[in-house]
Amino acid sequence: MGGASSTPPKPPLSENSKFIAEEVKQHAVVIYTKDGCGYCVKAKNELYEDGIHYTEKNLNTVAKVIPNPQDYINGLMDLTRQRTVPQIFICGKFVGGYTELNALRPNLSKILETCSVDNGETLRREYASKI
């Protein structure tokens, strides 16, 4: 009866979602893309311009090399609750798509420094090489 609202618990993650959740923890920035996606290209270009290395997971390519590609894609959608690409993870956390990445852009290097295994040293070297 009180003033607190309750939210239903999140459903348990599927095995595919768990796999993807572990996969994105292996790299500072992971971007899931598809061929012909203009916003995917824009996101990758901005990361490149900022000297930020990213790991791309092209879902068209994934579909050609894994046994059950739809299960993989469903796992991604279950994890993010998004059906569109790009889907971008930073420091193992889903941040959204191109619009969210663009909003984070001014602070992205600081965000990456805080989660980088080597305290941002790799990222600093990348910036130094661009100067």
Query: Do the domain assignments include residue 60?
Result: yes
Query: Do the domain assignments include residue 125?
Result: yes
pLDDT digits (tens, 9 = 90+) for 10-58: 667 888 899 999 999 999 999 999 999 999 999 999 999 999 999 999 9
What CATH number should be reported for the domain holding residue 59?
3.40.30.10
pLDDT above 80 for 123:
no
Query: Do the domain assignments include residue 6?
Result: no
131 pLDDT band, cuts 50/70/90, is: very low
Q: Give the per-residue pLDDT at 67.
A: 87
Which of 2-11, 40-49, 87-96 comes out lowest in average pLDDT? 2-11
Q: Whole-model pTM?
A: 0.79
Query: Do the domain assignments include residue 9?
Result: no
Query: Do the domain assignments include residue 5?
Result: no
Quote the tokens at residue 16. 């595919």
CA 117 – CA 91 distance, rounded (Å):
10
Please give the mean pLDDT across all residues of the chain: 85
Query: Do the domain assignments include residue 85?
Result: yes
Q: Which domain holds residue 38?
A: 15-130
Query: Do the domain assignments include residue 2?
Result: no
Q: Give the per-residue pLDDT at 44.
A: 98
Q: Give the per-residue pLDDT at 66.
A: 87
CA 82 – CA 123 distance, rounded (Å):
29
CA 10 – CA 5 distance, rounded (Å):
15
Tally of domains in the chain: 1
pLDDT above 90 for 88:
yes
Query: Do the domain assignments include residue 8?
Result: no
